[in-house]
Structures are given as structure tokens and as C-alpha cells.
Structure 1
Amino acid sequence: MALDYVIAEARQHGIRLLLSLVNNLHAYGGKTQYVKWAWQEGVGLSSSNDSFFFDPSIRSYFKNYVKTILTRKNTITGIEYRNDPTIFGWELINEPRCLTDPSGDTLQDWIEEMSAFVKLIDKRHLVTVGLEGFYGPNDPKRLTVNPEDWASRLGSDFIRNSKISNIDFTSVHIYPDHWFHHQVFEDYMKFVSKWMLSHIEDGDKVLNKPVLFSEYGLSDINFTMPERKTMYKTILDISYKSAKKNRSGAGALVWQFLVGGMQEFTDDFGIIPWEKTPIPSLFVEQSCRLAKTKGWPHKDTSFKQFC
């Protein structure tokens, strides 16, 4: 019922949703919960969290869940999720990693199977993986773009995973303060530019698919407000220039906005839009200039209120 309400409200306000089907991390249960269920039922092959990707019973559990979500009829709008244009697309899994198979074969097989399964049920919506964007062993020339050596041993591979035919657009995350050790802010900024431009180039020349920077952030514990603003502006500028030139970089989604009464759910990256900081205005400006580039203000008078 709660998700019905969220989708109905988004529909009412003209907001499109990218919904993630499961989390690689422990938050909200994630893949760990599926492993626990299988283990408790005595059908799990392994207690390893990575068995989520290769255990036949767990794959079956997940498919049942996916089918239930995609075919659910919204109790408020009366529209099945798979037919609702409010949903922009489906993300298979947030930030997938399979450390037990650094070759990437296990995760690749899972993505191929689950993306095909989603498309079998829902032919209307776009599908993406939910990748962080790390390059794997199949792309040795790109390994220098990774933040550090560990990133190539996580079982994910940006280009290989994104080439799968049922994956419609790619996803990339940007969290330099989580990915580096003992770096200064200026080095973070150099990395962010190189990271984004490399993936945009891949989208243009290798994948021929849009690239969505679907999460980015800089913590408010280790960095000042001006530094956070500088990084966010850098990301938005690169994204805007790509869109203006009709290149593959298709947008950037910040992590994360919070509304009144939800401050207790924040993490080091939370942004309260009505707080008197210079950061929220960056996103309004970005929306306005993207809208003008695409000619949307002529079609929607509501832009005059903000732009």
C-alpha cells in the first residue's frame, strides 16, 4: 500500500520514478534477506550473501518477488505497475558486487537472466542494472579510470554488464570520499571529471546507450559546504554539457533529498532543500537550463514559476 501511494503521488505531481528491485547492501533487507530465507527453509546452497546470485532457489524467490511487483495493480490508481508511465524504469539491483567471483561471470549470468525475466513480463519500461560503474578485468585499458585497484575485483564490470541486450541504459555512481583513502579534495575533483567523461565516452563509442549518473554525493562530515557545492556543480556542468551536445551523459541524480520529519533517516549525504545553503539552488538551475535546452518551457507554463 505504501508504494501504491508513492507512485500515485508521483503521478499527481508529474514525477517519474526509477525503482530499484533489490539492494546489494544490508539496508532494507537487501540480497542478504533472500539468503536468510533460503537458509531457514533448508534449501540454500550457501550462507554466503553472494549465493543470491547463483543459488537456484534464491533466484526463484527473487523472480517471484519481481513478478509480484511488476503485475501489482495499484489500489489507488487501478493501474498495474508494468503499465504505469509514472515508472520511468526498473533497476535490477542497487550497487551489485559479487566478491566471491572477481571474474564477473556469476554477476553477468544473473544480470542476463533477470533482465530477460523483467522484459518478459514488462515490455513497456526501461531496465538498467544499478552499477557503480567500476571497470573489470574484461576492460584492462579502462582500469586506470577506477578509483583504486580494489574496484576491479568486485565481480562487476561496467562495459560488459551494460552491453547486455535487455539493458536499455547504463548507471554510474560517484562517491569519491568512500572510494579513496588519504586523498585531498583537489584530487577528488580530478577523479570526478575523468570518471564522468570516461563513462560518457563509453556510452557514445562503445555501448551506444545513455549513461545516467544515478547517484552521487559528498559527505558533510569530512567536507565543507563550499567543497560539496564545488563537486555538485562540477557533476551538473559535465552532465549539462553532455546533454546539450546530445552525447550519452543523460543526467545526474543527487543522493539524497529529505523532507520535513525525516531528518532521522539522513546519512552523511542528506540535503534539506529549504535549509539556507547554496546547494539546493544548483539543482533548480540545472533543471531550468536542461529544460530550456530541450524546449520544454514552451510546452509547460509551470517552468515560469522556477525559471
Structure 2
Amino acid sequence: MKKIPVCFLLLLSSYLLQAQQSFVKVKGQQFMVDAKPYYYIGTNYWYGSLLALKTDPVHGKERLKKELDFLKSRGVTNLRVLVGAEGAGKINGVDRVDPAFQTAQGVFNEEVLNGLDFMLMEMSKRQMYAILYLSNNWEWSGGFLQYLNWNGEISDTTLKRKLSWDEQRDYTSRFYSCESCKNDYRKQLEYIFNHKSSYTGKTYAHEPAIMAWELANEPRPMRVKAIDSYKNWISLTAAYIKSVDKNHLVTIGTEGFMGTEESYDLFKEIHGNEHIDYLTIHIWPKNWGWFEEVPTAENLPPVIEKTVAYITAHEVIAQQLKKPLVIEEFGLPRDGHAFEPAAPTTLRDEYFRSIFSIWAKSRTTKGAIAGCNFWAFGGLARPVKGQLFWKDGDDFSGDPPQEEQGLNTIFDSDTSTWEMIRTFLKN
């Protein structure tokens, strides 16, 4: 047998070590990868792992790989992804994400995690990182309302009908004081952390393509009276995750001031927890009434002004806590509030540019604003003509089922947006 030169083996070993993906760490107010600061522009790709479940590879695994290649080629390598939905059918008057991960109380569909396994494997090949959120304050993936229903706090009839805003706040706030609901949520976490990848055989605790675990999407106390139980849930859940996974970061998934009963003090307190590694904020000008009905060239400047002020106020808290801050959700409709991919995105591009400029300045000065995840990547999907809302069997895009398809989605065809992003990532 031919002997392989030692020098070749050393070179091969060196290459494999360089190619191996490293875990994201935190040092002060910066993310670090291989002892170097990690500042990123990423996107929300909540449905990514669900693509691998489709039997049609063109709309499933092949679509996923093409979209990952597209994002990587544009310098976008950080993706925020839903782990899985709870329950099935109508909830709060809308269809929810399908297929479900927890199909019934305590019953789990492991195939959903196998889809996540495939996505993480493909991301690892491309040196990409995932932020995985573990449940939802909102109905579109089941979330807290579903746990309340399973434990008798909400009837089936009430769960399915459209709730008023006050009703939704009243019901959802009960989650934090419902011990059986929190136990069910914990069982879902235990199932996730005990799962071994169908491709690598590793548990998620040993998967470097995961950057962080997020307790839920936008968990709010919803009512002032729930604040103490809300804080307790955050503390106990974060501590549990750290106890079973020493390698990954943990964050809460909050919107900031707007999601903490309008209290900067509460936002600071929950992110000061020793098991919470970084802060997050979300910014939704339309949902928060920062403009009326349609964004225009006239009303965009005050929206940008409010956005800058919102980011700055939370940046100060991040600096005080000496932890990184991620602007992990923000979006704006197309010009004229159109849904068609052919409609221009002039105002959205300007809005995104204002946020990315703040991030770029932070990167230059080694500041606390470490990442941005815009909402949301829709890739190769396109809205169905003449149909506003998602139906079972449609391609997933950036807009969840309860929102008009095309509302906030960035498609692969949005050339001006991708060119603008490129200008921030080319250096």
C-alpha cells in the first residue's frame, strides 16, 4: 500500500480544522466566532425547516438548498427559524402553520425535527447560523393559546373564534401562571433537547450551526398583573436551557419597550438575567400605528425618526448591561401597500437602509448593535393570484398564514433590496 506523505496529512488536517464551524460566543457587548467579532445582517426564515418535509423536492429540499445558496451569495448567513408549531386547525380565527410539531398535548411529530436536522446540516455546509425560537406568543403557530386550550383555560370554541385584543391579552397572560401549561411547554423543550439529528446523530446541544435558542417569539406579559409570573418563567426557562446545553446562547425574543408593558425597566431587568446572553428588539411601524394605512414619501421620515429613537433607547440599555443587541424583526409593506412581487420597494429600501446604517456604525465602532434580521425572506415563493391569505398546500413565504401573502416578504426578485444589502456587506 502506498504511504501517504506526512506533509499531506498535516495540510488535510489543517484544512478540516479551518472548515469546521465554530459556536457563536459572547464577549461583553459583542458576538464572537473564533475570537473575532461577529456582526451580521440576517433574515427571518421561520418556515425554513418545514421545506424539507415536502414530498416534492422542487418545492421542498431543492428549494431550501437553492434559497440557502442565494442568501449565502448575498452575504446573509444568519437565519431566525421557528422550531415547530403546536396544535392544528383554526385558532383566533385564522389557519395556523402546518404541519404541527406537537400535534396534540404531549404528542410529537419527530418528522418536523428531522426537517430541522436537514436544514441545519445544509446551513453548516455553508457556514450559516440559526436562531431557533421555541414557541410563540401569537396564534399563527399555536403557541401559548394552544397550551392554555389543552389545559382547560380556553374552550375549543373560544380558541377557534376571533378574539378581541382585550380578550387575547387576558387569555395569553394566563400562560405564565398556568403551571400545567408551563409544564407542557417544558416537555416540548425536553423532547427537542433529547432529539438526535437524523443526519449527524448529534443532539442539538452539539450542533454549531445553531447560534441561539429563543424562549418564544415575542413573549409578552400582556397584562401588568402577569409581570411577576412572566419574569419567573423567563428565569426558570433560561436556566433550564443552560443546564442542558452549555454551547449555545439564550435570548428571550422580546420586542423591547412595546412588548414589556411599555416599561424600559422591565426590559432591562429581564435581560439582566445571568442566563440571558443578549437583547432583542422588534420594530413594526404599521402595527404600532406610526403611519396611517399606507407608507408614503411624506410619512416615512417621522417613521424613521421614531425607529432611530427606539433603537437608541434600547442600545443604551445594552451598553449598560454590557451585552449585544439584535434588531431581529422589522418590516414595511411595498409602495402603495401592494402585495405583488412586481410592485416597487422604494420606501422599504429607504427604511431598511436607515436601520442597516445604524448597524454599520456599530460594527465600525465595535458597538452593542451586533445583528439585524429583517422580516422576512420569501425566496422562490410567489403569492397565489387572486388569493390574499395562505392556504394549506401553498408554498410558504415570509408572511405567516394570518397575514396577506406578499405584505412584508422580501422575494429573491427584489433586486433593489438585495443590492442595497450588498452595499452594507461588501466590506
Q: How much has 1:201 moved relative to structure 2?
A: 1.9
1:107-126 → structure 2 map (5 Å cutoff) = 107-126=230-249
- Secondary structure at the counterpart of residue 19 of structure 1: strand
1:243: which partner in 2? 363
Matched residue, 1:145 = none
Q: Secondary structure at the match of 1:3?
A: helix
* Letter in structure 1 aligned against 2:277: D
Which whole-Å CA distance do the structure 2 matches of 1:169 and 1:276 have between them? 31
Relative distance call for 1:247 and 1:82 in structure 2 (3 A) is same
- Does residue 192 in structure 1 map to residue 307 in structure 2? yes
Mapped to 2, the partners of 1:277 and 1:13 lie a distance apart of 22
Q: Per-residue deviation at 1:106?
A: 2.3
Unmatched 5+ residue regions in structure 1? 138-150, 290-307
How many Å apart are 1:14 and its aligned residue?
1.4
Give the root-mean-square deviation of aligned CA atoms.
2.5
Displacement of 1:112 in angstroms is 0.6
Alpha-carbon contact 1:107-1:156 (below 8 Å) kept: no
Give the Cα separation in 2 of the matches to 1:78 and 1:136: 38
1:210 to 299, 307, 324: 324
How far does residue 90 in structure 1 lie from its aligned partner after superposition? 0.3
Letter in 2 for 1:229: D
Higher relative contact order (CA 8 A, sep 6+): 2
Percent identity (aligned): 26
Could you tell me which residue of structure 1 aligns to residue 223 of structure 2? 100
Larger Rg: 2
Relative to structure 1, the CA distance from residue 26 to residue 162 in structure 2 (aligned partners, 3 Å threshold; closer, same or farther) is same
Conserved 8 A contact 2:176-2:226: no
Distance 2:199 2:136 in 1: 26
Once the two structures are TM-superposed, the CA of residue 197 in structure 1 deviates from its matched residue by 1.8
Aligned-residue offset at 1:276: 4.8
Moved more, 18-27 or 105-114: 105-114
**2:278–2:324 CA contact under 8 A, matched in 1:** yes
C-alpha displacement of 1:282: 2.1
**Can you give the 5+ residue segments of structure 2 that lack an aligned partner in the other structure?**
1-113, 156-169, 293-298, 339-343, 384-394, 400-406
Count of equivalent residues: 269
1:28 CA displacement: 1.4
Which residue does the alignment assign to 1:173? 282
Alignment-mate amino acid for residue 285 of structure 2: P
More strand by share: 2
Q: TM-score, length-normalised on structure 1?
A: 0.81
- Which amino acid in 2 is paired with 1:91? E
- Name whichever of 174-183 and 111-120 sits farther off: 174-183
Matched residues in 2 for 1:156 and 1:106: separation?
A: 16
Report if aligned partners of 1:52, 1:59 keep a CA contact under 8 Å in 2.
yes
**Which ranges of 4 or more aligned residues in structure 1 deviate by more than 4 Å?**
none
Kept in 2, the 8 Å contact 1:136–1:157? The answer is no
CA contact (8 A) 1:229 1:278 kept: yes
TM-score normalised by structure 2 residue count: 0.59
Establish whether residue 219 from structure 1 lines up as the match of residue 350 from structure 2: no
Contact 1:133 1:157 in 2 (8 A): no
- CA distance 1:152–1:40, shift in 2 (3 Å): closer
- Is the 8 Å Cα contact of residues 104 and 156 (structure 1) preserved in structure 2? no
CA distance in 1, matches of 2:290, 2:367: 32
Q: Which amino acid aligns with 2:409?
A: G
Cα pair 1:67 1:121 within 8 Å, conserved:
no
> In the alignment, is residue 283 of structure 1 matched against residue 421 of structure 2?
yes
Please state how far the C-alpha of 1:176 moved relative to its aligned partner.
Answer: 1.2
Kept in 2: contact 1:135–1:157 (CA 8 A): no
1:136-175 paired onto structure 2 within 5 Å: 152=262, 157-175=266-284
The answer to whether the Cα contact below 8 Å between 2:137 and 2:172 also exists between their aligned partners in 1 is no
Are 1:65 and 2:174 counterparts?
Answer: no
Q: Where is the helix percentage greater, Structure 1 or Structure 2?
A: 1
Which amino acid letter does the alignment assign opposite residue 283 of structure 2?
I
Q: Name the CA distance, whole Å, in 2 between partners of 1:54 and 1:156.
A: 22
